[in-house]
Structure formats: structure tokens, C-alpha cells
Structure 1
Amino acid sequence: MFDCNYFYYIFFGFVLVVQTSLAHKTGILKNVGAFCANDTTRGDPNLIPIDVGQPRFINKVENGTLYQIGSGEDQVWLIHVYGNSGYDFGYAYGTLLRDQIHKVLPRAWAHFEQEIIDALKDLKLPKWFEELIAEKGLPIALDIQNDLVRKYMDEEVYNEMRGIADAAQIDYKTVVRLHMLGEITRGRCSLYGLWGNATLGGKTLQLRALDWDVDGGLQDYPVITIYHPGTSKLGHPFANVAWAGYIGTLTGMSSYRLGISEIGVSFPDDTFGDESMSGLPFIFVERYILQYTETLDDALSFIANVRRTCHLILGVADGKLGTARMIQYSHSKVNFFDDQNLQPLADWHPRIPNAIYSGMDWLCPSRQYKLYRAIVDQYGQITPELSIKNITSVVKTGDLHVGVYDLTDNIMYVANARGTGEQGPMEAYKRQFVKVDLNVEFARTR
């Protein structure tokens, strides 16, 4: 059967190539790189059934319990940590995941160190920081990066890292340095927030697709951490999706039914402000939102007032209010968008009622338009299951991991890239997703 949509993609891809070529000549899209200008191909639907099995108990210690979820090769560690201090959290985490941390940390560190050194000219870092890495090495540069952000950090986060290092018997400085890498590497990603007429039954849904390096081995030890604070100074329960030894937030949901998404921006336009290496690292901005804010307004207020650092696009959705916002984020400027004023406004990034979305970058025509088409094609019928089947897989976004949040029912769906020695496709969006019922997980006692 003739596929009109397929023809439309090919035609629009041709138009985009012509438009982008002209734009480069006229300077309109001078920052758009080849990655964002050329890929108009669609992926195949993900037809793998979602794993809905219950968590399997593995081990417990004081202040912590370890489970596994998923089946076959697509298993994920699910850890619950409890306590009255960050150190309590970290020590339980480091005790239960000691073996996994020892396996993933050296490999990931060695890989990212070499990648950053090889890619210095493409990372848009301050010249003095590039020279520091070249002359003194990445560890020293990251120690200085940590010095620049320390006064903006929550001391309990450092206490948590100290607890991990003590329990897992690894170098504390290495743990801290690992958490400074995000400000340098960032990664390409995609996001959406959908509500009201955009979804089946009017649910509030959110996508966080992480397109990051799959060669560092992070996906060998995927971890979902459920935090259970024993005191108000540590906030409220939240779920963080990451890897063994990593406590910064790139993906996650809170017990107040807030979700977070993020995209690193490599191709901004002149509506962005400047960048700075001094401020609260974005992985801890996102964590703060999940751990401490209770409403969408709380989250947006925090973003507006925190000392920000680099060029990003953030997404925050609120299952209680039934809406979402996209944030244009930089050190000196911040702008908040809903479905009525979403930016950038272009033929390749049209507005959609009851939706905010961004594909891979700010100025990224073909990727932005693919995500637009996927949402519009499923509009009004979108569920987490349909998103997994016909959005992330068709758009081809979420190499390292994917999170789809049902913020109405407080359920999260997660997939990870193929691990070392595993079979099947590499990209997370092509693999099996696991369902995590956060109503159950947030309510688990010690």
C-alpha cells in the first residue's frame, strides 16, 4: 500500500535540505550542524511487550533494600534507600551496589576521559578550561570545576557521595569528578509533555529520551533509586533513573507527580544567553526539582532563581495540574513555554495544542519535525504503550535510556541500551521496557 506519510517525510526532508542550505548561506541557521540537518528517516515500531513483572528481592542492609526488575537481558537494579542524612543514603547504596560500582566506574571514567580529550575543540568549553585539561589532565580540571560549583551545592549531596565512596571502598574524588562530567558532555536528547486532548483519557504524559554515549558501559548496570527521606530537610520521596554510582538526575519522577526531562543544546540561536562554569550543575538542578519542589510553579520558580550554568532545554510536567512546560535555559537567560508560545516557532517545529516538545536540540529541523509528526500522527490516542511503540522508536531517540512517565497514574516505563555481551539491538528505544509502579515503590517501608 502506498504510504502517504512516507512520501511526505521524503518530500519534507528534501525541503529541509534546501532550506538549511539557504539558511547557512544567509546565516539564519549558521549553528545547525550536519547531525541536525540530514536525518529524515523513520525507525520501525517497537513491538516488544512491556515487562510488567514484580520486583524480585535481592538483598537488604540497614537503610537499604535491593531488588531487580525486568527479565532476560533487560534487567534493572531497583534500590530503595532510607535515612536522615545524605550519608545514610550513600552508605546503603554503596553497600548494596559495591560490585556493580567497581565494575562500571573505572571503565566509564576511562572512556569519558579519552572522549573529552579527543573532542576538546567541539565541546565549546572556555579556552582556559580547555588549556587546563590539556596541560593538567581531566581530573585536575574537574576538581577545579567542583571548586567553582561547591558553594551552590547541597552539602547533603556531597555527604551522599562520601557515603557511597566509604561503603563501596572507592576514591571519593573519583565519585565527585564523575558528577562534574555532565556539565561538559550534556548529550543530545528528546522530550515531550502531553496532556488534555493530546492523550487518551486526558492523562499527563512525559518523555525523557537520553541520546548519550553508549560506548562507556553505563548501560551495563542501570539503576533506579527510590529515595525515602526520614526528615523534611531531605525533601520527599523521588525516583532517580541512572547507573551504578551516579546520583545526579537526568531522568526521574517525584512522589508529588512531577517529572523532569533535559536536552543539551549544541545548536542555540541568539535568543539564548551566555554560559558559565560557576553555578549549580544542571543534574542537581533537576534533582532538586524532584526532591524538594511540590508543584510546577515551585519548580519554575526554582529554575528562574537558581544560578544556572549551560545551554539546555528542560521539560517539567505536573500530573496534579495536568500540564507541562518547556524551559529555554542558560546562565543569563531563562524562558518558559507552554503550548501557546512554544519556541522555536518554525515550519519544522509547529505548535501542538496541549503539548510541548523538542527533538534532539534547539535548531535541529529534521529531528524536531520527526517528533512533531510522530505526536500528531498519534494525537488524541497517546498512551505510554503507544509512545513506546510508535513515537520513540519511529523518531529514533533514546540511545542510552528512555523514560516514559504516566504522571496521572504515577507509573514509569524505562528501557536501557544493550549491555556488554548482550544480544539484540543496541538502542534503548528498540529494546524491552519495564514498568515501575511508583505508587507501590514510594510506599515501601524499610
Structure 2
Amino acid sequence: MRGIHLTVFFIFVGISPVTLVDPSCKGKLNTNEILREEPRLVSSILNGKRFVVGHNFDTINIVHVYGGTPYDMGYAFGKLMSEDLQQLVPEYFAYLENKIEDLIKQVPPLIAKWLAEFGLRGALDLNYDITRQYTPPWYDEELQGLAAGSGISYKDIRRLNLIPELIKAACSVLGAWGESTASSTTLLHLRSLDWDEKAPIAKYATVTVYHPNASYAGYADHFHEYYKQKYTTSHTFANFGYAGLVGSIGAYNEVSVGLGQKVWITTEQDITSRLGNPWTYVLRDVIQFSNSLDTALSMLINTHRTCSVHLGLGEFHRNSSINDNNSVGFLGIEYSAKEFNAYSWEDMYNTPNHPILKDIVYWDPHPQPSNHPCFGSLLIDHYSHLDAATIIRNITSLLETGNTLNLILDYGDNAAYLAYSAPDDPQGPIEAFNRVHTRIDMTKLFAEPAPHSEDFA
């Protein structure tokens, strides 16, 4: 692992007034107003509440789950989202199976062989068989509950959750704070998902808010060594993703630790493995159990890693002075079975098309180090003026990143801004980065009270 540089040094960034957009930026400004409205309660059951926010093709489900066990939380989610899941699962698998020839061309040779020999469901079952001994048992329990609550077969729910392990996505990562931002008192975190904007799963956009009240100590005593280090205090946290996915592709917790992912494309084929804990489950564990970069890094280092992915890992301490070096932190991470590298802003790639910018960590959707100048030029143009609205209007839309999910976390304001693709919208646009973004108050989400048990006796 490359050492994380703790000695802070300053690099002069020549910031000029906003100029003409670099011709490598092919997109257009997103001029939509940001939607700011309170989520609307749809239904409430024992251990769960379902809200929606937004309208028509920009509707997002917000599902709160509570409970003493992982099974309880899975069951509540399944019950609240049963109709959606009964439509989503067969529709999404049919969609992917119709694209199997395209998938075979896109995935690594080993996965292509699995898909060719066993089909999609068979390949996902094989992936489960070789990862199950490394996967914490609470995932299986939650999936069992989700299946029971929704009426979907457990195997199909399990398969759905391993699709990200089988098929990774391009995506972009950005962490910006300090001198680079408009307020200088926040951390901005972009997790854009460039996957398949036409996939029907986008119609089931869901933020799942977990309110765990169970102790996981009993699991840790007999499982992986890194769980024995007592990372068993669970935090309330939010998964930004889709109905039925219990792992994390982008997540944020009540103590302001956040994680997002993008693919790490490398020609070094020997740095990955299929034998380990699926990366979406690792990311979720980090968000559920960690309260700092140090704890998160320890968990990431000590787990049995599999695929090669880039991560953006952030933390923000609301009660600390912004001038305190410990008040905010953001790292870009290269994560794989055999290699783990953590980058602060000062030791990121420094190339003509990826200049070092003070208080900014970033990767564009392309293989790294990128030869595409668009992202770097946009960040220079908007340096010291960055906020969530600027990222949405002037950066992700012009970079054309976040076609499937575009998520910006404002840690200082404790808010999330997100948009999903809309494959069924006849008037478009389809891509998330061009659509209306919704602001969600994370303080309110994390404080949402559990339903009263006497109402469901």
C-alpha cells in the first residue's frame, strides 16, 4: 500500500475567470431547477416506512427500515416494496438475458466464460458459491427476510445483489473542500454512476435508510478477523441505489462518512480475485460500522477484497473548526484483491490532462490516469466556486457522467442531491445528469422515528 502523505504542501493553481468550455466536454448545461420538497408518506408497517419524493419519471422511493435483526429489516423492505420487486426482478433479468452477447464482450474473460457456459443466473450462482464463505452472515439473513416479505424467490434476490460484482461500471469520483468550494466550510462528494441508462432497474430508484438497533457482536465473535476488532457499533445510514439491492454503490451515514465507487480498469490481470467478500457488501460494512477515515481504511485493508475498483471515501466532523486538519478528509482509493493505494489531493496523478488541484480528489469515467482534459478543465474553471448546484449545472452535465445515477453529497449542509435515468420518459432526456435533481435533507432522514409498534399489534 502506498503511504498516505500527511505532510501538507501547497501547489499553486492558476485560477482564471470562467472561460469557454474545453472542446473535449461534449455535454450541455443542466438548466433544470433543483427540486426541494418534503418526502410524502406512502405506507407504514412494523419496522418500516415508505415515502416518495419527486413526480412522474423523477420519482424516488425513500424506504426506512428498523429492526432488531437483519431479517427484520429485510422483511420490512420486502413488504413495503413487494409490488415493485415483483415487477423489477423478472423485468430486469429478462432485459439482461437479452443483452447476454453484449455483456460477454464487456466483462473480463473469466466472467465471459461463466456467462457463456452457465447463463446469467448460473454465473451469479457460481459467484455466490465462491464468495459465500467470505461474506458476513447478516447479508444472507437480510436477503432471506427481503425474499419472504416480497414473495420473490430468495435465489433471485440473492442473484440481483451480485450483479454489481459480476458487471462493474465506469463512473466518476470527486471530493472537493476547503479552498476549492464556494463556502469553504463543507465537503462535496460526487458519485456518478455510468452504467446503463436504459436498464429498467432505473424505474425503481430507491434510497434505503437503515436504522439498525441490533448488536452485531455475536456475528463478529466467530467471523472474519477484522470484525473481531469490534467494529460492531452500527450507524444509521443511507444506501443510494435501487429496490432490492442491499449492498452499497453509494452510501452515507449519520456521522458523515461517505463512500462511492467507479471501476478501476487495469491491464494487471493478477491484482483481482473472485474469492472474497463482494465489494458492494464491503462498502456497506464500512458505512454501517465506521465513524472515521482510519476505521474505514482498516476495514477496507483487512477484508478479503475481490474486484478492482476506485473509491471516493470522505468524512466530515460537523463540530470541528474547518481550519482544523481533522475536520474534513477525502481519499481516492485504488482497491483490489492484491493492491490497495490511497491518495490524498497532493499525491494524485499529475498529468497535463489531470492536474493536481488543492483540496480536490477526482477521477473521470475513463481509465486512469485519464487522457481526457474535460474534467480537469471544468474543475479549474469553477475552482473556489464549487457547490452542489454548480456540479450539477456545469460539471457532470458537460462531462456527461452520471448517466444512470448522479449523486452529490454536501457534508456541511448534510444534504444529498440526486437524479436517476428515466428510460421510459417519452420526452427525455434519459440520462440522469441531464434530469431534475432532488435535494434530500439527510438530517431529517436519519432522525425519522420508527413506526409505533402498538399500531401494528
| Structure 1 length-normalised TM | 0.87
Say whether the 8 Å CA contact 1:273–1:330 is kept in structure 2. Answer: no
1:317-351 per-position Cα deviation (integer Å, ceiling 9, x unaligned): 111231200001111010000011113x3211111
d(CA) in 2 for partners of 1:298, 1:276: 24
The letter for the 2-side match of 1:428 is A
Alignment partners' CA distance in 1, 2:34 and 2:65:
26
Distance verdict in 2 for CA 1:212–1:318, change over 3 Å: same
- 1:306-325 to structure 2, matched below 5 A, reads 306-320=303-317, 321-325=327-331
Q: How far apart, CA to CA, are the structure 1 residues paired with 2:50 and 2:28?
A: 35
- Cα deviation, 1:388-414, whole Å, max 9, x if unaligned, reads 111111111000011100112211111
In 2, are the aligned partners of 1:339 and 1:356 still within 8 Å (CA)? Answer: yes
Q: SS at the partner of 2:30?
A: coil
2:187 partner amino acid = T
Query: Of the two structures, which has the highest relative contact order with CA contacts closer than 8 Å and spacing of 6 or more?
Result: 2
Structure 1 CA distance, aligned partners of 2:316 and 2:366? Answer: 25
The letter for the 2-side match of 1:296 is L
- Number of residue equivalences: 407
Partner residue in 1 for 2:74: 90
Q: Out of 62, 74, 89, which is 1:105 matched to? A: 89
Counting only pairs closer than 5 Å after superposition, residues 40-59 of structure 1 correspond to structure 2 as: 40-59=24-43
State the one-letter code of the partner of 1:242.
G
Which residue of 298, 301, 309 corresponds with 1:301? Answer: 298
Alignment of 1:33-182 (within 5 A): 40-126=24-110, 129-182=111-164
Task: String of CA shifts for 1:347-384, please: whole Å, max 9, x gaps.
Answer: 111111001000013336354x2111111111111111
Identical aligned pairs, as a percentage? 29
Per the alignment, do residues 410 and 4 of structure 1 end up closer, same or farther by CA in structure 2, a change over 3 Å counting?
closer
Alpha-carbon distance between aligned partners in 2 of 1:358 and 1:440, rounded to the nearest angstrom: 31
How do 1:174-253 residues align onto structure 2 when only pairs under 5 Å count?
174-202=156-184, 203-233=186-216, 235-253=234-252
When residues 273 and 340 of structure 1 are mapped into structure 2, their CA distance, relative to the original with a 3 A threshold, is farther
Cα RMSD, aligned residues only: 1.8
Q: 1:388 and 1:82, CA in 2 relative to 1: closer, same or farther beyond 3 A?
A: same
Aligned-pair CA distance for 1:186: 0.6
CA contact (8 A) 1:117 1:133 kept: no
Letter matched to residue 297 of structure 1: D
Write the distance in 1 (CA, Å) between the matches of 2:103 and 2:242.
Answer: 24
SS of 1:324 mapped into structure 2: strand
What code does the residue aligned with 2:337 have? H
Deviation at 1:4, TM superposition (A): 5.4
Paired position in structure 1 for 2:8: none
Deviations 1:169-191 (A, max 9, x none): 11100111111111221111001
- Is 2:19–2:381's contact at 8 Å kept on the other side of the alignment? no
CA distance in 2, matches of 1:65, 1:171: 23
Output the CA distance in 2 between the equivalents of 1:289 and 1:418.
Answer: 30
- Tell me by how many angstroms 1:423 deviates: 2.9
The answer to which of 327-336 and 137-146 deviates more is: 137-146
* Alpha-carbon shift at residue 440 of structure 1 (Å): 0.6
Task: Quote the offset at 1:419 in angstroms.
Answer: 3.9
Q: Secondary structure at the match of 1:360?
A: coil
The match for 2:357 is: 352
* 2:277 aligned residue: 280
| Structure 2 residue identity aligned to 1:443 | A
Q: Secondary structure at the match of 1:137?
A: helix
SS in structure 1 of the partner of residue 89 of structure 2: helix
Shift of 1:420: 1.8
Q: Is the 8 A contact 2:157 2:244 kept in 1?
A: yes
Q: CA deviation at 1:117?
A: 4.2
Alpha carbons 2:124, 2:166 under 8 Å: kept: no
* Pairwise CA distance, 1:135: 2.5
Distance in structure 1 (CA, Å) of the matches to 2:363 and 2:394: 17
Q: Could you say what secondary structure the match of 1:150 adopts?
A: helix
For 2:40 and 2:53, how far apart are their aligned partners in 1?
A: 6
Whole-angstrom CA distance in 2 between matches of 1:325 and 1:273: 24
* Cα distance in structure 1, aligned partners of 2:353 and 2:272: 26
**How far did residue 301 of structure 1 move?**
1.4
Runs of at least 5 residues in structure 2 that lack an aligned partner in the other structure: 1-17, 217-231, 318-326, 451-457
Q: Residue 143 of structure 1: CA displacement? A: 1.3
Which secondary structure state, in structure 1, belongs to the residue aligned with residue 99 of structure 2?
Answer: helix
